[in-house]
């Protein structure tokens, strides 16, 4: 009898919960699974999930079946794998990924659906590569054109940034990986990024620098957010009580996790108390991180309560469940597919901004051109595998020269002349980006190089100079800012000379933002290509030869001179004694140029097309107070008067007649990208809700849409307003 009783007892004690713990049951609600797992964890295990165990992971806990959690840069694709104990490449053979155009290029498309597709590509590839958290999108506001990481960000406007970020995150997270929106916040320069203490008034914080992050949290449901290196009001951003505890988790109700930028924690008490949930980094042993042994000691000695640790662990577990770590996150996804490459190309095509096209010199007629010279190192240079954490190891990268040769090499005689080159010793590129031209450029003096290009230009039907910057120090890169807005390596002079030798000179700029263009009057055409990704050369050739009608618009003002920009005009940048006060306040980007009536070189929102669009029929309809719906529907007709199909970005700016507090002259509050066939017309609808009229009142600690008259401006750029009409808000509304 005894064995039978023992058997019965054994059965009775093996409860269903032990066989099938709630946390392993995918049919259970996430919160129930989180609580169940948390309840099973020791203090040490909880500590293990809140700090790194290698550069890009947290430790597995085999006892509980918790896998190692992987994260990866970044914003333009899934970065190559890095060695666990250094920043050198792991030299894996299966870590090639699709290289999308840079973030600023994505913003230049003004196409929210494309932002979604872009995020989806990265999400699918992350999944295939076994990464649960992707470190992007990067959405700091472009405050100065010098910031070394402007190419990663989405420009100067909070509304544009918000829309693109939401599209990106929804696309990426739809694949079951977590986005990590960064860098929260005010990481608006790379110079002194680890120490600079940013001061700004509350309105500027709320109206300019926070909206992108708020939209990421409130609208896109982003699962993680990265605390920046810099300080804000005296406290490091990754352990900033006001930003994280009060605003992010308090006001916005963020339920995901806050991680550090790499090495951005500085103090166990602040990290513990001020809302940091996951410490990542580079230096010192991982078990000595502020949120590792020192925090564990503090818990054991009673200095910190267990609820503090539980909250951090809970947030990490929640993200683990939501990224399906216990339910097969290693499965699915796809990598380097033709569809992903097609998306990279589509984004690059829509990102190109046609800045000038005198006499309709573009598009070039491939049937008529007999000879073409392509000039410039950027025509043969590869960019994807450089620039800092946003670098990507791609299987291929179509350079501008390759794209042009593929497009017209069969019918025209295409020559290449280097024209200018970065001195070899300064080049940071690593294999496989090194190109065969490197040894040759070392043997030719810069003067000879320029002379040869000028001579070649004189003999060709058309000269295309691919100019711009690269990802070297003091250009578009992490860890340093640009020193000025000039083109390096004698390019300004070269462009002038080539233009004199050949009036049909087209300038293509590869850069993460504005450059001074003292030669602008001398050339008939300029195309801004940003860093166009692995399909960039094909996209560029498509634009140059008219297969693609350009539709990109500037996501940032191009100033004539650096000192026209607010942070420089006011000598606020780069701060005094480690503190940088944003004295320009709300007047960032076009808001400043409008308020001070400064003529930019090219305004925010600007970009030409090969066709011409007429705007008409503005109608404002709606009413009500906006509760639960749009206050105004802006409607207008866009007619394509040219011979080519094309896309136009219709921009809606709002201006208040009698603001109670000073407001910028106008602010972007809506836009739509519309495809219109040649000779046809489309009607565009752009809804505006109450937030389009509101300003932040620091005394009330909330938003106010004030009873007042407003002008609704509809334009093709911030300086090309085509239609306007008045709208009255009949009552004042307060909201948060
Ligand atoms: C960058 C982050 C990046 C991290 C990990 C930091 O230096 O600022 O954007 O995600 O490194 O590579």
CA–CA separation, 589 and 253 (whole Å)? 30
pLDDT tens-digit series, residues 129-163: 999 999 999 999 999 999 999 999 999 999 999 99
Output the DSSP codes for 635-647.
Answer: EEEEEE-SSS-EE
Q: What is the mean pLDDT of residues 80-96?
A: 92
Number of Cα atoms under 13 Å in the Cβ half of residue 630: 13
Query: How far, in Å, from the CA of 433 to the mean position of ligand 1?
Result: 21
Q: Residues 6 or more apart from 256 whose CB is under 8 A from it?
A: 178, 217, 222, 223, 224, 225, 315, 318, 319
Nearest CA to ligand 1 atom 6: 262
Q: What is the mean pLDDT of residues 201-230?
A: 98
Q: Write out the two tokens for 605.
A: 């929102």
Nearest CA to ligand 1 atom 3: 389
pLDDT at residue 331, rounded to an integer: 78
Q: Say which residue the tokens 């080539």 belong to.
A: 498
Nearest CA to ligand 1 atom 11: 262
Confidence band (pLDDT; 50, 70, 90) for 626? low
Q: Residues 6 or more apart from 106 whose CB is under 8 A from it?
A: 100, 114, 115, 118, 154, 164, 168, 347, 351
Indicate the pairing of strand 505-510 with strand 695-697. Answer: unpaired
Probe target for ligand 1 pocket from 151, 225, 280, 478, with the most ligand atoms within 8 Å of CB? 478
Query: How far, in Å, from the CA of 501 to the mean position of ligand 1?
Result: 45
Query: How far, in Å, from the CA of 389 to the mean position of ligand 1?
Result: 5
CA dihedral 330→336→337→340, nearest 10 degrees, is 100
Contact at 8 Å (CB) between 521 and 577?
no
Give strand ranges (E) for 176-268. Answer: 178-184, 197-199, 224-227, 231-232, 235-236, 257-260
Computed over every residue of the chain, the mean pLDDT equals 94
Confidence band (pLDDT; 50, 70, 90) for 84? confident
Percent of the residues in the chain that have a pLDDT greater than 70, as a whole number: 94
Indicate the pairing of strand 224-227 with strand 197-199. Answer: unpaired
Is residue 649 helix, strand or coil?
Answer: strand
Q: Say which residue the tokens 């409008």 belong to.
A: 594
| 712 pLDDT more than 90 | yes
Contact at 8 Å (CB) between 685 and 635?
yes
pLDDT tens-digit series, residues 427-451: 555 443 344 444 455 578 999 999 9
Q: Residues 6 or more apart from 157 whose CB is under 8 A from it?
A: 141, 555, 589, 590, 604, 668
Instruction: For CA atoms 241, 242, 244, 246, give the dihedral sign.
Output: positive
Probe target for ligand 1 pocket from 150, 262, 282, 386, with the most ligand atoms within 8 Å of CB? 262
| 3-class SS letters over 507-519 | EEEECCCCCCCCC
CA–CA separation, 570 and 234 (whole Å)? 22
The alpha-helical segments, DSSP class H, found in 20-147 are 30-40, 43-48, 103-109, 112-128
CB-count exposure of residue 448 (10 Å: 0-12, 13-18, 19+): exposed
CA–CA separation, 144 and 388 (whole Å)? 19
Backbone φ/ψ region at 724: left (φ over 0), alpha (ψ -120 to 50), beta: beta
pLDDT at residue 610, rounded to an integer: 98
pLDDT at residue 685, rounded to an integer: 97
E strand or H helix at 544? helix 536-544
CA angle 395, 400, 406 (to 5 degrees): 80
Cα–chain-centroid distance for residue 34? Answer: 31
Query: How far, in Å, from the CA of 344 to the mean position of ligand 1?
Result: 23
pLDDT tens-digit series, residues 666-709: 999 999 999 999 999 999 999 999 999 999 999 999 999 999 99
Q: Which of 53, 117, 157, 261 is catalytic?
A: 261
pLDDT tens-digit series, residues 347-389: 999 999 999 999 999 999 999 999 999 999 999 999 999 999 9
Contact at 8 Å (CB) between 554 and 716?
no
681: phi then psi, degrees, rounded to nearest 5: -140, 140
pLDDT tens-digit series, residues 504-561: 999 999 999 999 999 999 999 999 999 999 999 999 999 999 999 999 999 999 999 9
Nearest CA to ligand 1 atom 7: 262
CA angle 617, 618, 621 (to 5 degrees): 125
Query: How far, in Å, from the CA of 183 to the mean position of ligand 1?
Result: 9
Cis peptide before 64 (omega within 30 of 0): no
Q: What is the mean pLDDT of residues 12-24?
A: 67
Q: Write out the two tokens for 689.
A: 């809700």
Helix axes 112-128, 158-173, angle to 10 degrees: 40
Number of H helices, E strands in the chain: 20, 27
E strand or H helix at 353? strand 353-357
Output the DSSP codes for 680-729.
Answer: -EEEEEEEE-GGGT-EEETTTTEEEE-SEEEEEEEEEETTEEEEEEEEEE
Q: Which residues line ligand 1 (CB under 6 A)?
A: 73-74, 135, 182, 261-262, 389
Atom from ligand 1 closest to the CA of residue 193: 8
CA–CA separation, 163 and 170 (whole Å)? 11
Q: How many residues does the chain have?
A: 736
Cα–chain-centroid distance for residue 689? Answer: 25
Question: How distant, in Å, are the alpha carbons of 211, 217, 251, 701 from that of 248?
Answer: 12, 8, 6, 15
Probe target for ligand 1 pocket from 71, 135, 194, 281, with the most ligand atoms within 8 Å of CB? 135
Is residue 349 helix, strand or coil?
Answer: helix
Atom from ligand 1 closest to the CA of residue 228: 8
Indicate the pairing of strand 231-232 with strand 197-199. Answer: parallel
Cα–chain-centroid distance for residue 518? Answer: 29
| 6 pLDDT more than 50 | no
Query: How far, in Å, from the CA of 224 to the mean position of ligand 1?
Result: 14
Atom from ligand 1 closest to the CA of residue 73: 10
The alpha-helical segments, DSSP class H, found in 358-445 are 400-408, 437-443
pLDDT at residue 461, rounded to an integer: 97
CA–CA separation, 381 and 429 (whole Å)? 10
Task: Identify whether 73 is a catalytic site residue.
Answer: no
pTM of the shown model: 0.96
Contact at 8 Å (CB) between 115 and 103?
no
Nearest to 512 by CA among 185, 148, 158: 148
| 426 pLDDT more than 70 | no
What is the DSSP-derived secondary structure letter of residue 41?
A: -
């Amino acid at each position: 009898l005894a064995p039978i009783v023992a058997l019965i007892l054994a059965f009775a004690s093996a409860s269903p919960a032990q066989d099938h713990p709630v946390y392993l049951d995918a049919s259970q609600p996430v919160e129930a699974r989180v609580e169940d797992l948390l309840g099973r964890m020791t203090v040490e295990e909880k500590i293990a999930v809140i700090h790194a165990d290698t550069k890009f992971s947290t430790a597995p806990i085999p006892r509980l079946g918790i896998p190692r959690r992987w994260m990866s840069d970044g914003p333009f694709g899934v970065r190559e794998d890095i060695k666990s104990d250094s920043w050198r490449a792991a030299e894996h053979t299966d870590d090639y990924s699709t290289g999308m155009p840079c973030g600023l290029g994505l913003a230049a498309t003004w196409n929210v659906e494309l932002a979604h597709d872009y995020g989806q590509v990265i999400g699918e590839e992350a999944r295939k590569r076994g990464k649960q958290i992707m470190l992007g999108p990067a959405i700091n506001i472009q405050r100065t054109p010098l910031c070394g990481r402007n190419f990663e960000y989405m420009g100067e406007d909070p509304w544009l940034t918000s829309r693109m970020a939401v599209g990106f995150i929804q696309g990426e997270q739809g694949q079951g990986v977590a986005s990590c929106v960064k860098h929260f916040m005010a990481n608006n320069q790379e110079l002194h990024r680890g120490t600079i203490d940013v001061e700004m008034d509350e309105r500027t914080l709320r109206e300019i620098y926070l909206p992108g992050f708020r939209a990421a949290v409130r609208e896109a449901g982003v699962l993680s957010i990265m605390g920046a290196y810099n300080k804000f009001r005296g406290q490091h951003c990754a352990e900033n009580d006001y930003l994280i505890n009060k605003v992010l988790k308090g006001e916005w109700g963020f339920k995901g996790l806050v991680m550090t930028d790499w090495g951005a924690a500085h103090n166990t008490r602040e990290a513990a108390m001020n809302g940091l949930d996951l410490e990542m980094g580079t230096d010192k042993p991982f078990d000595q991180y502020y949120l590792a042994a020192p925090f564990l000691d503090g818990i054991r000695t009673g200095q910190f309560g267990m609820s503090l640790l539980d909250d951090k662990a809970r947030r990490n577990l929640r993200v683990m469940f939501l990224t399906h770590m216990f339910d097969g996150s290693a499965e699915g996804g796809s990598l380097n597919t033709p569809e992903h490459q097609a998306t990279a190309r589509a984004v690059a095509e829509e990102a190109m901004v046609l800045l000038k096209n005198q006499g309709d010199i573009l598009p070039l007629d491939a049937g008529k051109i007999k000879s073409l010279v392509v000039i410039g190192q950027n025509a043969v240079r590869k960019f994807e595998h450089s620039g800092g954490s946003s670098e990507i190891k791609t299987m291929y990268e179509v350079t501008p020269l390759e794209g042009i040769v593929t497009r017209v090499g069969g019918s025209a005689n295409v020559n290449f002349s280097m024209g200018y080159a970065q001195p070899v010793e300064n080049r940071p590129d690593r294999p496989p980006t090194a190109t065969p031209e490197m040894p040759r450029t070392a043997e030719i003096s810069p003067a000879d190089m320029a002379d040869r290009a000028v001579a070649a230009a004189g003999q060709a039907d058309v000269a295309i100079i691919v100019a711009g910057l690269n990802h070297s120090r003091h250009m578009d890169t992490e860890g340093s800012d640009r020193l000025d807005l000039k083109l390096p390596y004698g390019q300004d002079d070269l462009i002038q000379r080539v233009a004199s030798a050949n009036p049909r000179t087209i300038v293509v700029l590869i850069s993460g933002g504005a450059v001074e263009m003292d030669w602008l009057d001398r050339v008939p055409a300029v195309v801004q290509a940003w860093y166009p990704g692995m399909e960039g050369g094909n996209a560029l050739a498509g634009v140059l030869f008219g297969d693609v009608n350009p539709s990109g618009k500037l996501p940032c003002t191009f100033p004539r001179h650096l000192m026209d920009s607010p942070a420089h005009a006011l000598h606020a940048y780069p701060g005094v004694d480690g503190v940088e006060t944003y004295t320009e306040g709300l007047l960032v980007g076009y808001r400043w140029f409008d308020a001070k009536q400064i003529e930019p070189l090219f305004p925010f929102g600007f970009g030409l097309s090969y066709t011409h669009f007429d705007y008409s029929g503005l109608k404002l309809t709606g009413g009500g107070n906006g509760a639960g719906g749009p206050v105004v529907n802006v409607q207008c007709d866009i007619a394509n008067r040219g011979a080519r199909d094309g896309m136009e970005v219709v921009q809606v700016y709002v201006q208040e007649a009698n603001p109670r507090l000073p407001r910028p002259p106008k602010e972007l509050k809506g836009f739509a990208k519309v495809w219109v066939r040649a000779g046809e017309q489309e009607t565009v609808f752009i809804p505006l809700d109450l937030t389009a009229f509101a300003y932040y009142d620091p005394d009330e600690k909330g938003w106010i849409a004030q009873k007042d008259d407003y002008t609704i401006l509809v334009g093709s750029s911030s300086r090309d307003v085509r239609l306007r009409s008045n709208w009255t808000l009949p009552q004042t509304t307060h909201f948060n």
